[in-house]
Structure 1
Amino acid sequence: MSSLPDYEAPPPYIPPPSDAPAKTIRVLGFGAPFQWLRAGWADMRAHPGISGFYGVAFWLMAVILGAVFRSSPEYTMTIASGCLLVGPFLAMGLYEVSRRREAGLVPDLSSSITCWDSHIKSMGMLVLVLIVMELLWGRASLVVFAVFFNTGMPSTSGVMQAIFNPQNWEFVAAYAVVGGAFAMLVFSISAVSIPMILDRDTDAISAAITSLEVMFHNTAVMLLWGALIAALIGASLALPWGVGLLLTGPLLGHGTWYAYRGAVQWPQDVTVP
Structure 2
Amino acid sequence: MGSGDSRDGTPRRTALDAARPVGPTRPTVLAAPGPVALTTRCVRVLLSPWSRLSLLVVLLAAAGTTVLLFEPHRLLADGWPPKVNGAAAVVVFAVAYGVCTIAFVPRPLLNLAAGALFGSELGLGAALVGTVIGAGAAFGLGRVLGQDALRPLLRARWLKAADGQLSRHGFRSMLAARLFPGIPFWAANYCAAVSRMGWTPFLLATALGSIPNTAAYVVAGARASTPTSPVFLIAMGFIAVTGLAGAVVAWCKRHRLRGR
* TM-score (normalised: structure 2): 0.33
- In our comparison, the structure showing a higher alpha carbon Rg is 2
Higher RCO (CA 8 Å, separation ≥ 6 residues):
1
